[in-house]
C-alpha cells in the first residue's frame, strides 16, 4: 500500500508573515531593503526529514520554522535499505518540486546512533539492513546540497530550542519518554553531542539495582523502569489504554503511572544535579498524559535534586508534538 499526503499552505500566509514581521520591527517609514532581506530569508527554504520505522515525514520550511509544505510516505523498511533510501529521495524531491523556492540545505533525523560529522547511520533499530549507512554522502551526491544527519532525539531537542518550549532558554535538557527514553542537551544554545556523538542517552542512566532487562542488555536503566515499554510490562497495556484506565480511576493503572513518574523524577533530578539547566523539557508520546505524569514528577524530583538548582529549574512539556522530529531535522541546517 502506497500513500502520500501533502498539505500546502497559501503563499499568501508567507507574505502576511513577512508583513507582520515588518510591522513589528519597523514602526516608522517603510524600509524596502529590510523587507527584501526578509523576503530572501523567507524564500531560502530548508528541508527536514524524519526517518521513522514506519513512515518518512518531511517538511519544507522557512528558517524561522514556518512549515510551507509537509509530506508523509511509508518507509517500507521491510523491503530493505535500498528501497528506504529511494523513499527518502522521493520525499525530498516532492518537497523541492512543490515550490519554486530556493532550498539551501537538507537535514535528516534518523533513529539510532549517528556519526554526526560524517553523516553515517551506525545502525538503526526497526530498519533491517541499516549498518554503517553513509547517508550524508549518498544524499549529497543526489541533491548537490549540504546534508546534515543526526539522531532523532537530538533533532527533537534542537527543534524545541529553536522553535518550541526552549526558545527562551540558553541551557536545557530535553527528555523524550516514549517506547524508549532518549534526549538532548542544549548548552549555551548549542546541542552538546559529546566526543563521538552519543551524548544524551538518558534512558541508560543507572537509577536502580535491578529492573527488567533493558534493550541495552543491562539492568536498572531508566528506560527499563520508566518508558512506554516498561509501562507495558507492568500493566500489559499500551500507554493510551493505561492513561484512559487511570483517568477512570483504575487503581492498578494509577499505581503504574505513579511508579513510572517516581523513576523519571530520579532520572531528572540526576540530570539537574549534573547540568544545572534552566529547564527540563519532557516530550515523547508519554508526555501526552500531561498532568498525570508531569505533576508527580514536578513534586518528586525535589526530593533527589540539590536545592539550589532545583529551585531555579522549570519542568515543562514539549511544545512541538509530532512536528519536533521534522522541524529539528530542518534546524540542523541553521
Ligand atoms: Zn539500558
- The domain that holds 92 is classified in CATH as 3.30.420.40
CA of 181 to the centre of ligand 1 (A): 9
Give the total number of structural domains in the chain. 2
Whether residue 135 is contained in a domain is answered as yes
In whole angstroms, how far apart are CA 267 and each of 2, 55, 185, 186, 278?
A: 41, 30, 14, 17, 16
144 and 114 inside one domain: yes
Strand order in the sheet with 181-187: 190-192, 181-187, 172-177, 279-283, 314-317
9 and 99 inside one domain: yes
Paired sense of beta strands 279-283 and 314-317, if any: parallel
Whether residue 20 is contained in a domain is answered as no
CA of 221 to the centre of ligand 1 (A): 5
Whether residue 36 is contained in a domain is answered as no
Range(s) of the domain holding residue 48 = 5-13+43-156+324-331
Angle (deg, nearest 10), helices 251-275 and 228-235:
150
CA of 161 to the centre of ligand 1 (A): 26
- Residues 212 and 198: beta-carbon distance below 8 Å: no
Whether residue 205 is contained in a domain is answered as yes
222 and 310 inside one domain: yes
181 and 302 inside one domain: yes
135 and 188 inside one domain: no
309 and 180 inside one domain: yes
Q: Please give the angle made by the CA atoms of 246, 251 and 255, to the nearest 5 degrees.
A: 80
72 and 215 inside one domain: no
CA of 208 to the centre of ligand 1 (A): 11
CA of 252 to the centre of ligand 1 (A): 25
- Residues 71 and 57: beta-carbon distance below 8 Å: yes
Which pLDDT score, from 0 to 100, does residue 112 have? Answer: 87
CA of 293 to the centre of ligand 1 (A): 21
- Residues 127 and 88: beta-carbon distance below 8 Å: no
188 and 132 inside one domain: no
CA of 100 to the centre of ligand 1 (A): 46
Short-list 138, 1, 4, 179, CA closest to 79: 1
Whether residue 112 is contained in a domain is answered as yes
Average pLDDT over residues 247-257: 96
CA of 108 to the centre of ligand 1 (A): 25
89 and 206 inside one domain: no
Q: 330 pLDDT exceeds 50?
A: yes
CA of 230 to the centre of ligand 1 (A): 12
pTM of the model: 0.85
Which pLDDT score, from 0 to 100, does residue 3 have? Answer: 42
CA of 218 to the centre of ligand 1 (A): 5
The pLDDT confidence band at residue 264, using thresholds 50, 70 and 90, is: very high
Whether residue 35 is contained in a domain is answered as no
Which pLDDT score, from 0 to 100, does residue 7 have? Answer: 43
Which pLDDT score, from 0 to 100, does residue 199 have? Answer: 95
97 sits in the region (left: phi over 0; alpha: psi -120 to 50; else beta) called: alpha
95 and 199 inside one domain: no
Whether residue 82 is contained in a domain is answered as yes
The per-residue b/e assignment along 89-118, b for 16 or more CB within 10 angstroms, e otherwise, is eebbebbbeebebebebbbbbbbbbbbbee
DSSP string over 181-224 = EEEEEEETTEEE--SSS-TT-GGG-B-SS--SPPTTS-SSBHHH
**β-pair partners for 74:** 55
Whether residue 306 is contained in a domain is answered as yes
152 and 223 inside one domain: no
CA of 160 to the centre of ligand 1 (A): 25
Which pLDDT score, from 0 to 100, does residue 37 have? Answer: 52
145 and 229 inside one domain: no
CA of 34 to the centre of ligand 1 (A): 51
Structure confidence by residue, pLDDT tens digits, 204-241: 999 999 999 998 999 999 999 999 999 999 999 999 99
DSSP string over 59-114 = EEE-TT--EEEEEEEE--GGG-HHHHHHHHHHHHHHHHHHS-PEEEEEEEEESS-E
- Residues 265 and 301: beta-carbon distance below 8 Å: yes
CA of 133 to the centre of ligand 1 (A): 24
CA of 23 to the centre of ligand 1 (A): 51
Q: 244 pLDDT exceeds 50?
A: yes
Amino acid at each position: 500500500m502506497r500513500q502520500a499526503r501533502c498539505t500546502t499552505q497559501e503563499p499568501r500566509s508567507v507574505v502576511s508573515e513577512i508583513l507582520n514581521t515588518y510591522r513589528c520591527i519597523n514602526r516608522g517609514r517603510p524600509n524596502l531593503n529590510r523587507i527584501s532581506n526578509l523576503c530572501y530569508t523567507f524564500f531560502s527554504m530548508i528541508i527536514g526529514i524524519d526517518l521513522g520505522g514506519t513512515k518518512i515525514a518531511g517538511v519544507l520550511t522557512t528558517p524561522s520554522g514556518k512549515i510551507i509544505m509537509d509530506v508523509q510516505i511509508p518507509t517500507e523498511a521491510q523491503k530493505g535499505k535500498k528501497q528506504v533510501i529511494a523513499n527518502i529521495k522521493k520525499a525530498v524531491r516532492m518537497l523541492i518540486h512543490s515550490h519554486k523556492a530556493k532550498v539551501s540545505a537538507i537535514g535528516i533525523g534518523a533513529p539510532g546512533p549517528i556519526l554526526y560529522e560524517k553523516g553515517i547511520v551506525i545502525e538503526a533499530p526497526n530498519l533491517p539492513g541499516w549498518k554503517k549507512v553513509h547517508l550524508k554522502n549518498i544524499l549529497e551526491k543526489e541533491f548537490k546540497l549540504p546534508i546534515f544527519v543526526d539522531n532523532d532525539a537530538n533533532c527533537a531537542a534542537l527543534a524545541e530550542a529553536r522553535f518550541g518550549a526552549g526558545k527562551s532558554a540558553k541551557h536545557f535538557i530535553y527528555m523524550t519518554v516514549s517506547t524508549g527514553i532518549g534526549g538532548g542537551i542544549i548548552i549555551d544554545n548549542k546541542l552538546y553531542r559529546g566526543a563521538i556523538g552519543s551524548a544524551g542517552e538518558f534512558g541508560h542512566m543507572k537509577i536502580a539495582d535491578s529492573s527488567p532487562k533493558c534493550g541495552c542488555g543491562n539492568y536498572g536503566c531508566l528506560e527499563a523502569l520508566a518508558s512506554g515499554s516498561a509501562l507495558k510490562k507492568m500493566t500489559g497495556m499500551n500507554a493510551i489504554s493505561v492513561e484512559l484506565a487511570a483517568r477512570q480511576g483504575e487503581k492498578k493503572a494509577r499505581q503504574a503511572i505513579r511508579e513510572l513518574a517516581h523513576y523519571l523524577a530520579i532520572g531528572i533530578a540526576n540530570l539537574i544535579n549534573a547540568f544545572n539547566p534552566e529547564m527540563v523539557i519532557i516530550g515523547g508520546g508519554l508526555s501526552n498524559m500531561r498532568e498525570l505524569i508531569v505533576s508527580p514528577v514536578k513534586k518528586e524530583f525535589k526530593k533527589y535534586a540539590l536545592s539550589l538548582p532545583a529551585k531555579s529549574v522549570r519542568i515543562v512539556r514539549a511544545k512541538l508534538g509530532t512536528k519536533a522530529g521534522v522541524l529539528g531535522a530542518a534546524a540542523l541546517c541553521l
